[in-house]
Amino acid sequence: MSTASSDTATDSAVPGEQEARPWRVRRLALPAGVRPYLAPLILYGVLKLVGLTVFAFLLEAAGDYRKKEPRFGGGAHWWDVLSTWDGWWYLQVAEKGYDPRPLERLDPGGLFTVKQNSVAFFPLYPGLIRGVSEVTGLGLFGSGILVSVVASFVAAAGIYAVISLLAGARAGTIAAGLWAVAPGAGVEWAVYSESLFVAIAAWCCYCVMKRRWVAAGLLAFVAGLNRPTSAALIGAVGLAALVTLARRESRREHGVAGPVYAMVAAPLGLLTYVAWVGLSMGDLTAYFTLQREGWAHYFDFGAYTLDVLGNTAVGHHNYLFAFSVPDLLAVQLVLALPFLIALMLRKKPPLVLVAYTLASIVTVLGTQQMFGNTPRYLLPCFPLLLAPAAAMSRLKLPSLVVFFSTAALASGWYAHYVMFELGIP
């Protein structure tokens, strides 16, 4: 807001200046509340376009996607790759809805013991795809990309809003740029639900920080309809509300009704969907059984992560879902986590950010799933960008230009190509 005020003061200080600099008039045409978000969104969009362009070039240069099945990383055009794997499932839900029949057992001896079912994928993202398709007339693929791209800009704005509250507008802008080139960022403009989830999570945390409890509760409720990992966000909102209620001063300042509402509303979306799956499939634990036996994803208290780290340290690949290049990059990110967490905690961020980030990290590292996708699973942990963004905000513009230019070009490989072509996103 201070930036907006200074711009206005500058424009009115010299009567003839508006004719000399007509671009100032265009800036004034923007609503005051929108103007601060212009720089982070432009930075985010440019970085993503560069990364996606490099990704497209690498896909065409290698040509391997043409030899793969359309469902499993292939297609007639390079952009078809963006709707494969999980994207295929989301498009199936958007087109056909769910078919929550009882779990079907497979023949013993294989990796999976129950047949995969689309109810493993939460309804908010495919529902939006279907709705956008009906309204705009776009196909489901185009609608899926549109939802992801728009959501990614909302997420970048939310990250800017949170970080700028804690470290200033310049740091907030840099944080939005860092999220664009983060490991795993390739799914932000693909038919995946990460961008939508981060958009909800960032603004939910912002609402908690501003003590807008009704909005925070509603956003946490909606997040519960998007991904099962919303449990970390729901728990963080509930904890922040509980602490607010436990302190006499905060009760007097913020009241009781808002925090209580947030605590009650936050988990309802997640619980409702999981319960619906269980009741529809004739087994209240059906969702968890499906994840464990249909996708081999389940919480194992970190045993799988330790297995991968041990194998990678000695150059072995004797573990489930082994992909050498994605796994090596994921190991480097995991090794950096203690440092990033320590730096974040030194900044003393609000409780909701600490709880959300730590719970998300524990969930990711404590779960058996494709280890090479760890950068994607950690993409929602945007508070980890607080300390790097604050430190980089002290750099001069030429240094930032060099860094982001290099990172944007490189992200086309490490954040896009490695995930979609050298592993399974």
Asked if 4 and 32 count as a contact pair (C-beta separation under 8 A), the reply is yes
Rounded-to-integer distance, Cα 204 and Cα 353, Å = 10
Two tokens at 45?
């969009």
For residue 413, pLDDT beyond 70:
yes
Q: Residue range 391-405: average pLDDT?
A: 98
Rounded to 5°, angle at Cα 416 from 398 and 38: 45
244-248, 258-262, 363-367 — which is least confidently predicted?
244-248
Look at 27 and 240; give whichever has higher pLDDT: 240
For residue 380 the two structure tokens come to 């929602």
Mean pLDDT of the chain: 93
pLDDT digits (tens, 9 = 90+) for 311-349: 999 999 999 999 999 999 999 999 999 999 999 999 999
Predicted confidence band at 30 (pLDDT cuts at 50, 70, 90)?
Answer: confident
Inform me whether the pLDDT recorded for 19 exceeds 50. no
- Residue 248 is predicted with a pLDDT of 87
What does the pLDDT look like over 41-88, one tens digit per residue? 999 999 999 999 999 999 999 999 999 999 999 999 999 999 999 999
Q: What integer pLDDT is reported at residue 249 of this predicted model?
A: 87
For residues 300-320, give the mean pLDDT: 96
Cβ–Cβ under 8 Å, residues 191 and 148: yes
Residue 406 has pLDDT above 70, yes or no: yes
Which two three-digit tokens encode residue 337?
A: 């986590």
Q: What is the DSSP letter of 81?
A: G
pTM for the whole structure = 0.92
Percentage of the chain with pLDDT > 90? 88
User: Which residues partner with 298 through β-bridges?
Assistant: 368
Looking at the predicted structure, is the pLDDT value of residue 33 above 90?
no
Contact (CB, 8 A) for 425 and 376: yes
Write the pLDDT tens digit of every residue in 75-91.
999 999 999 999 999 99
Q: What is the DSSP track for 178-230?
A: HHHTSTTGGGGGSSSSHHHHHHHHHHHHHHHHTT-HHHHHHHHHHHTTT-TTH
pLDDT at position 11, please?
Answer: 41
The CA–CA distances, whole Å, from 66 to 53, 70, 79, 299, 343 equal: 18, 9, 11, 35, 44
**pLDDT tens sequence across 188-242:** 999 999 999 999 999 999 999 999 999 999 999 999 999 999 999 999 999 999 9
Question: 368 φ, ψ to 5°?
Answer: -80, 115
| DSSP-derived secondary structure letter, 413 | I
pLDDT for residue 194: 98
Mean predicted confidence (pLDDT) in 31-38: 88
Q: How many CA atoms lie within 13 A of 215 on its CB side?
A: 13
Whole-angstrom Cα distance, residue 72 to residue 61?
Answer: 19
Q: What is the average per-residue pLDDT within 97-118?
A: 93
**pLDDT band for position 264 (50/70/90)?**
very high
Q: Which residues have a Cβ under 8 Å from the Cβ of 328 and sit 6 or more positions away?
A: 312
